[in-house]
Amino acid sequence: MKYLFTDFDSARIGKDKRAAVIEITGEKETETLRLSGGGKLIRIGIGKRDEMTRRKLLLLVRKITTLGKSAKAETLFLDCNDLSFSHLNIGDEELGSLVAQNMEMAVYEFTAYKHLPKEDRATLAAIAIKNASAAFKRGTAEGTTIGAAVNASRTLSNTPPSDMYPAAFAAAAVAAARRAGIRARVLGVPEMKKLKMGGVLAVGQGSARPPKFLVLEYFAGKKREQPIVLVGKGVTFDSGGIDLKPESGMNDMHMDMSGGAAVVQTLVAAARLKLKKNLVALVPMVENMPSGSSYRPHDVIRTMSGKTIEVLNTDAEGRVILADALTYAKRYQPRLVVDVATLTGAAMVALGLRASAVLSKDDIISRKFQDLGEKTGDHVWPLPLWEEYEEEIRGTVGDVANIAKTRYGGAITAAMFLYQFAKDYPWAHLDIAPRMTSVEGEYLAKGSAGAPVRLLVELCKTY
């Protein structure tokens, strides 16, 4: 989307068929009017201005965009003052960034595999904004970059598994990273064998598509500064493996690499924003499939850490591949490791579809993530990680079992499993299964929601 900063006269614009003027009103109703000159007037009622909240503002920006899209406008005309709410204490630069992020997100559609009739094609290409300050303009540049990263992450996730298997995912990530000036490396099966990454190799062994391990390094910070390492689950399709999922459970499982897509695009955004930070992204990439060569229940896997995993359910595969990635992370002596994974249906049972779960041994870190969520719109909410849960995942034959003894608190026991491999550095786990796909009413295209790229970029900026 293009942002034009110009003054304009709403009356004159009404004569342009491709234009839509946005008017924010104090009413409750929203209406789109066709002006006599051919242009459109979109009147959006937001009720009392002093009842606006940060959450509602982000949705309002997306609503504006969505209505502009349905009006088939090419350019929207907007008054910056309409989006400024002094009681929200949002600075101009931040406002510009939030506006651009959410406009990019709302205008996005995944159309690569669809032949659209001409009348259904999106036309919206530009926003003309009046009364914008220099700071607001700077903000839109940042927001465009972040929004583009969110959308690129959604495209990686939305791409069907026939085209997004480990090697393809790795290639797409490497290409995106190198274009942004990030050092990128892909480990194949021989290298993983050398590193004794038994977890990634076991989960990947049932697929005709061999596993990969992606390493991105962006070192623009001080030489001595320890990096933040972002680890993303990269299961390009999760059939469940030998513990095959039922039909309904397999829905959307091509998006089980959403954590991986998010960390890749976070680094891309960080590089494009020229953040002076040291950042690493690690993504174990596998396809979890049933076959004669699959790993099976009661296999015992030796991981890179040396710890053994007793496999009790092949569908709890994310934690098995992440175990090796969390061990690999140690070599960077990180000041923080964050893993991001569509890890459990249980996180969705616990939180619904509005927030990802955050789990950490460090309450200050977990609190920090909640704040980042509120700030960016990528909401996260804490679940406990008490020692008592450790008992649940103790193995009988191996060191740790990959599922708990009861089905209760599945998001917690999954995190507790990961913690067994993350004890050597400050760590947080984000279970983004609840936010994998968009929900009705948030003005986002169906499919991947692009979480939590915005949160992670803000983390990299400010941590």
Count of beta carbons in the 10 Å neighbourhood of residue 363: 10
DSSP 27: S
Instruction: Locate 438 and state its tokens.
Output: 């968009």
> Minimum CB separation from ligand BES for residue 157, in Å?
11
Query: In terms of DSSP bridges, do strands 40-45 and 300-302 run parallel, antiparallel, or are they unpaired?
Result: unpaired
Residue pair 214/235 in contact by the 8 Å Cβ criterion: no
Residue in the structure block whose two tokens are 């997004």: 164
Taking CB under 6 A as the rule, does residue 140 contact ligand BES?
no
Q: Is 136 in a helix, a strand, or coil?
A: helix
State which amino acid sits at residue 245. Answer: K
Taking CB under 6 A as the rule, does residue 82 contact ligand BES?
no
183 tagged catalytic: no
> Minimum CB separation from ligand BES for residue 60, in Å?
29
Binding map of Zn ion across residues 188-227, x = CB under 5 A, - = no contact: ----------------------------------------
> Minimum CB separation from ligand BES for residue 453, in Å?
17
Stretch binding ligand BES (CB under 6 A), from 56-64, 128-136, 300-308, 315-323: 315-323
Choice among 18, 54, 245, 330 that is catalytic: 245
Buried b (16+ CB within 10 A) or exposed e, 189-215: beebeebebbbbbbbbbbbebbbbbbb
Choice among 272, 319, 368, 435 that is catalytic: 319
**Interface pick for ligand BES out of 303, 342, 356, 448 (rule CB under 6 A):** 342
Taking CB under 6 A as the rule, does residue 392 contact ligand BES?
no
Kindly identify the residues of this chain, within the stretch 420-459, that bind ligand BES according to CB under 6 A: 433, 436
**Interface pick for ligand BES out of 147, 410, 447, 452 (rule CB under 6 A):** 410
Taking CB under 6 A as the rule, does residue 290 contact ligand BES?
no
Query: In this structure, is the dihedral angle defined by the CA atoms of residues 51, 57, 61 and 67, taken in order, positive or negative?
Result: negative
296 tagged catalytic: no
**Interface pick for Zn ion out of 104, 256, 324, 431 (rule CB under 5 A):** 256
Give the one entry of Zn ion, ligand BES, none that residue 101 binds, where binding means its C-beta sits below a cut-off of 5 to 8 angstroms depending on kind. Answer: none
* Phi, psi angle pair for 121, to nearest 5°: -75, 145
Taking CB under 5 A as the rule, does residue 315 contact Zn ion?
yes
DSSP 242: T
**Interface pick for Zn ion out of 14, 204, 318, 447 (rule CB under 5 A):** 318
* Phi, psi angle pair for 432, to nearest 5°: -95, 10
State which amino acid sits at residue 79. Answer: D
Give the CA-trace dihedral at 369, 375, 381, 386, to 10 degrees.
20
DSSP codes, 157-182: HHS-TTT-SHHHHHHHHHHHHHHTT-
**Interface pick for ligand BES out of 203, 346, 401, 456 (rule CB under 6 A):** 346
| Positions in the binding site for ligand BES (CB under 6 A) | 238, 256, 313, 315-318, 342-346, 403, 410, 433, 436
| Positions in the binding site for Zn ion (CB under 5 A) | 235, 238, 256, 315, 317-318
Q: Which residues are catalytic?
A: 245, 319
